[in-house]
Structure 1
Amino acid sequence: MRRRLFLLGIFCFIISTILYSKYSKPSADSHLTAGGVDEVDWTNVSAAHEEEDELVEAPCSLRKAARNNVLLRNRFRFSVPVLQWAGSFSKRSWEQLTERAPPYGWKGLPVGAVRAALSLLYSSRLFWRGSPDRCVRCAVVGNGGILRGSGQGRHIDGHDLVFRMNGAVIEGFEDDVGTKISFYGFTTNTMKNALRLYRRDGFTRTPQSPEINYIFIPSDLRDYVMMAAALQNQTVGSGRDKGDRPSKYFGHKPPENFRMLHPDFISYLTDSFLSSHRRTNTKFGHLYMPSTGALMLLTALHTCDQVSAYGFITRNYADFSDHYYDSRPKPLRFFANHDLRMESRLWETLHQSGLIRLYQGREAR
């Protein structure tokens, strides 16, 4: 009898220990704040959702192709969140991202401005796929002169989604570049420079049709401030763009039409795909960042199932003008803040690996 009671006691102790272990420990998705309250770490939650997405993939999944590529698979980390949204801001993310300057982090940015801007963003996803097995085909259209006379317009418009950026002139070039725009990517600086520099070439205003979604690249405080003003349909209240009206650039769009790339995503892309010797240059290293086109193309590569690139730099760039809409031929110019030659080698590698289709002109296939 005593033996049975002894064994029963051991059994009850083991069961109680298991239950205590299971239900009393804090979740792996939370951490303790300074006030002693568990706060969900939304950065990790977003990453977990991305990992869950990998379990259900379209038959044409680009992610699967990347993982099967022996030469490139170690470069890809699909768990890194592509976008910032309201859940991206937390005590932990603030502590981590203030260690790096924009566009790779939040160093030097006022906490109130970042928090206020991100609190207005609803979605953590670039687009909704619909059916899990749907094959989403994306075209990313740069502004390179290689597109002039290309006749690629109908091929571009035949994709499910079309990304454009900066001085995206459409009128007069429909046969070569198409008319469809799903996403327009930019920094506030590149957008305003495009409006100033290419006005005579036909870029008189940013694309504003109802179906367009805007992707901010957070290169500076002004991107957070401009986006916050746009989302609230207000004039910009501070900084370099004080008094500016975002509706002039975006129309009166609802919040769901706005996105902002995540600093962690830009940092990952730069380290894995776009790390240039210019980053360590003592004189100009602080200016270096990937080009707008590079960020848009790699965003598509991490969200779509098939990606075609048009108007990007190729090894025969000297045969074409800088932009397809140049009224007079202009050679491509290289500046210290980007490494376009390095980017061109990456596009060729991705094309040869079958991960993107790069338009290289009528003679090159």
Structure 2
Amino acid sequence: TPQRFHWICLLLLSVCLLLWYCHVMRSGLSMNTGLRGYVRVLSSRSASHFLDFRCGRCAVVSSSGQMLGGGQGQEIDRQDCVIRMNAAPTVGYEADVGNRTSLRVVSHTSVPHLLRQQSYFFGREAATRYVIWGPEKNMRQDGKGKIFNALVMLAKKYPDTNIYTVTREKVQYCDSIFQNETGKNRMKSGAFLSTGFFTMILALEMCDSILVYGMIDGSYCSNANHSFVPYHYYEPSRLDECRMYRAHEHAKKGGHRFITEKLIYSRWASQGKLHFVYPPWPPQGHPQD
């Protein structure tokens, strides 16, 4: 009957729409999984446009001279993922900092170091994911972003390398976290967020638990008996870490608020996901296995 034919047509149309919807959703998921604040440079060869990287237990390794002589390398390499910062080397420091690198969070100011050591970072560490952050003037994608242009050239030269940039929206989100935690507007206070801050935000998003190596707590430099420690473990003759921290903390313009940031990390650690294991931060210790 005409009425039955009408219902059959509606049923077929509904089935077609359902199949089309499932296809669109499946395609959308395959393209949009991952962390949306981190976008791959020249991502056409990748399965995901965004950083799709999750880990159970992560080791976040500071570039601080605190790493020297600690013998933490084997423990660091035993974790599911190892996150390092900027261009901090492992060769020659394996006993203290480990050998594996799963991901590097890199400041725009350290990109020239990557360019000078391409065979190391994109040869020896070819499987490493690189997450680059920087101000809009350097990261803009209209041909005028000097650092972004350099990353495009790297991605063309090493098409299998995973290079991601932190989006403008994500940088603004990190600014808002800093303001919520301190009550101070990051820009108005003359501060720049450190690579460590961006690293912590990313680690909290991608890791189930985080073990931090080489970061001192916010009160360390105010202790009368604190020792001389180089700012970077791979630059032993350079400026003392605490002198650098104090200079940045009180700089009226362009300084990293290292001490303030560590006070923020201490509050985050009380939530149980973040553990400062070497040197240990009171009252946090090594998480139980």
TM-score range, shorter chain: 0.5 to 0.7
Cα distance, 1:331–1:310 mapped onto 2, change above 3 Å: same
Cα distance, 1:167–1:232 mapped onto 2, change above 3 Å: closer
Alignment of 1:28-177 (within 5 A): 46=32, 81-85=36-40, 120=44, 122=46, 123-128=48-53, 136-177=56-97
- Matching residue of 1:10: none
- Matching residue of 1:215: 131
- Matching residue of 1:357: 275
Cα distance, 1:169–1:216 mapped onto 2, change above 3 Å: same
Which structure's residues are more often helix, by fraction?
A: 2
Which residue, out of 198, 201, 204, partners 1:298? 201
Which residue, out of 176, 188, 206, partners 1:271? 176
* Partners of 1:278 and 1:145 in 2: CA distance: 30
Deviations 1:193-240 (A, max 9, x none): 6999xxxxxx9985332321222214312232112111222xxxxxxx
Cα distance, 1:230–1:164 mapped onto 2, change above 3 Å: same
Cα distance, 1:216–1:169 mapped onto 2, change above 3 Å: same
Q: Determine what percentage of the aligned residue pairs are the same residue.
A: 24
* Partners of 1:84 and 1:142 in 2: CA distance: 24
* Unpaired runs of at least 5, structure 2: 1-9, 22-27, 139-144, 249-253
> Is the 8 Å Cα contact of residues 101 and 128 (structure 2) preserved in structure 1?
yes
* Partners of 1:321 and 1:81 in 2: CA distance: 36
Number of residues of Structure 1 aligned to a counterpart in Structure 2: 235
Which structure's residues are more often strand, by fraction?
A: 2
* Partners of 2:187 and 2:155 in 1: CA distance: 37
> Is the 8 Å Cα contact of residues 216 and 279 (structure 2) preserved in structure 1?
no
> Is the 8 Å Cα contact of residues 216 and 281 (structure 2) preserved in structure 1?
no
Q: Give 1:178 deviation, angstroms.
A: 0.5
* Partners of 2:134 and 2:57 in 1: CA distance: 26
Larger Rg: 1
* SS of residue paired to 1:354: coil
Cα distance, 1:293–1:280 mapped onto 2, change above 3 Å: closer
The letter of the residue matching 1:150 is G
Cα distance, 1:297–1:124 mapped onto 2, change above 3 Å: farther
Cα distance, 1:344–1:194 mapped onto 2, change above 3 Å: farther
2:151 equivalent to 1:262: no
Alignment of 1:197-236 (within 5 A): 207-208=121-122, 209=124, 210-219=126-135, 220=138, 221-233=145-157
* Partners of 1:121 and 1:357 in 2: CA distance: 36
Deviations 1:248-291 (A, max 9, x none): xxxx3515x2222222222212212466636253xx73xx3311
CA RMSD, 1 decimal:
3.7
* Unpaired runs of at least 5, structure 1: 1-15, 28-41, 51-79, 86-116, 130-134, 197-202, 234-251
> Is the 8 Å Cα contact of residues 107 and 132 (structure 2) preserved in structure 1?
yes
The letter of the residue matching 1:361 is P
- Matching residue of 2:210: 307
* Partners of 2:105 and 2:42 in 1: CA distance: 17
* SS of residue paired to 2:59: strand
2:240 equivalent to 1:331: yes
Cα distance, 1:303–1:309 mapped onto 2, change above 3 Å: same
* SS of residue paired to 2:146: helix
The letter of the residue matching 1:258 is I
* Partners of 1:193 and 1:359 in 2: CA distance: 29
